[in-house]
Amino acid sequence: MFVTVLVLIAVGTADFGALGQTRQRRQTLPKPVPQDDVTLTSHSRDSLSPEAREMVEVASVAVCRERLRDPKGSVPIDDMQGRPSLPVRSPEAIAGLQNAQRLLPTAKSLVIASLKRLVKDYGFGNPSTQDARLQRAIAHVEAVRTIRPDVDSRDNASVFLRNPHTIVFGTIFLAGLPSDEGIISVLAHELVHIADGSEDSLGLLFRGVGNRASKLTGLQIHDQRAEELTCDLVGTLAARSYVASTPSYEPLPRRISRSLEHNCVDQDEGDDDHLSPRNTIRALLALDPVLSRQLVYGR
C-alpha cells in the first residue's frame, strides 16, 4: 500500500507537475516520522525559551478550544477523512465553492502582500536576482482564476503545473471550512505552491522559514516540509490581514483560530513532506509570537 502510493505520487509529479497538496489523505500517509512525534525540544541552539514554549502550548490549546465553541469552526482533517464523499451539487459543497470563488481575489492580494513581507523578514538570497524571483512568483499568483470542486480530492486541495490557473478543492474540504478565514488560509496555502512554480522561485524563502522553525522547535523541517510550512505560514498571515481589514463583533482569537483549526486532529500523524497537524500549529506559533499572544490575550 505504502509503496504503491509513493509511486503514484512520484508518477503524478513527473508527468503532470503536481505542485503539492495542502495535505495528503490519511490512508496514503507513511508511518509517522519519529522525530515528529515529540513535542518541542530544547536542545538545539536558538530554541524557544521555556516561557516561549509554554506560550506556544497555551496558544495551541486555545486554537482547538475555540474551534469547539465556534459555529463556524473548521472540521479537523482526520474527521473530514471519515466522512462519505460529497457530491459537487450538494448544498454544502456549492456554498463552500461560492465562498472560495468569492474570496479568491482577496486571498491573492493578501498572499502577495504576505510574500513581500516574508521576503523582507527572512531574506531572499542574492539581492540582484531577488526582485525578479519575487515578481515571477507574484505573476503566478495573479494568473490564478478559478477553483474547481472535486469529489475525489475529498479533504485535500491541490494545484498542478499543467494548469496553473486553477486550484482543485475537494468537496469535503470545501464543506469543512465554513468561515472566510478558514477558506482564505487554504487558498493562500495553494497560492504559495503556485507562486513557487516550476522555477522554484521561492526556494530560498522556504529554506529560511524551515531552518528558523527547525531551530526554534527542534523538529526537522527541511525540503518539502519547509515548503508546506511556509504555505501554512502565509495562510495564517493572510487570514490575519483579512481579519484586520474586515472588522466584526466576533472576538479576535475566534477569527484567527480558524486559519489553524483544521489541524486540531485526534490522530496526529506526519510524513516526510508534512509535519503532523498539531506540530504544524506549534511550529507556526513558534515562528510568530504575535500570533500566539493574540490567541491567548485577544490583542
Binding interface with Zn ion (CB under 5 A): 20, 22, 228, 231
Give the C-alpha separation, 36 to 259, whole Å.
22
- The CB-of-297 to Zn ion minimum distance in angstroms stands at 30
141 contact partners, CB below 8 Å, separation of at least 6: 108, 111, 112, 115, 191, 194, 195
Dig out the grid coordinates for 163 from the structure.
494548469
Looking up cell 470542486 gives: 149
Residue whose CB is less far from Zn ion, 65 or 162 = 162
- The CB-of-193 to Zn ion minimum distance in angstroms stands at 6
Q: Calculate Rg over the CA atoms of the chain.
A: 18
- The CB-of-177 to Zn ion minimum distance in angstroms stands at 15
How far does CA 164 lie from the centroid of its chain?
Answer: 18
Give the C-alpha separation, 188 to 21, whole Å.
12
Give the residue closest to Zn ion by C-beta.
20
Residue whose CB is less far from Zn ion, 155 or 228 = 228
Residue whose CB is less far from Zn ion, 23 or 53 = 23
Give the C-alpha separation, 248 to 154, whole Å.
31
Residue whose CB is less far from Zn ion, 20 or 208 = 20
- The CB-of-5 to Zn ion minimum distance in angstroms stands at 17
Dig out the grid coordinates for 173 from the structure.
474540504
- Phi/psi of residue 149, nearest 5 degrees: -75, 140
Residue whose CB is less far from Zn ion, 20 or 170 = 20
Burial of residue 164 (CB within 10 Å: 0-12, 13-18, 19+) is buried
Residue whose CB is less far from Zn ion, 235 or 253 = 235
- The CB-of-266 to Zn ion minimum distance in angstroms stands at 22
- The CB-of-129 to Zn ion minimum distance in angstroms stands at 25
